[in-house]
Amino acid sequence: MNAPDPEEILLEYVEMKGSVRATAIHVATGMEVSIVGPSHAGEPTLRRNVLARLRYVMRQQAEKDQPRADSRPGLLV
């Protein structure tokens, strides 16, 4: 079986009573995010927003996984 494409993202749209839930799943990491928007927003708008949220969450996770320069406990300000 081949390794997943590191850039492959699955998108799912589910319409519910005047709104749409858009879900994006990054296949390589399994990271999943969802947004809810109005059904009249259109697929391109929902796609852009859910992909932006996925990039944001993945960036936050990457920063969290980075070792801190200062190993002392507490907040680095």
pLDDT digits (tens, 9 = 90+) for 1-17: 566 667 899 999 999 99
Q: Which two tokens stand for residue 24?
A: 């994006």
Query: What span, in angstroms and rounded, lies between the C-alpha atoms of 33 and 59?
Result: 13
Q: Mean pLDDT throughout 17-34?
A: 95
Does residue 29 have a pLDDT over 70?
yes
User: In b/e form, how buried is each residue of 2-37, taking b as 16+ CB within 10 angstroms?
Assistant: eeeeeeebeeeeeeeeeebebebbbeeeeeebebeb
Q: What is the pLDDT of residue 64?
A: 81
Query: What span, in angstroms and rounded, lies between the C-alpha atoms of 33 and 24?
Result: 6
Q: What is the pLDDT of residue 71?
A: 66
pLDDT digits (tens, 9 = 90+) for 30-77: 999 999 999 999 999 999 999 999 999 999 988 887 766 666 666 666
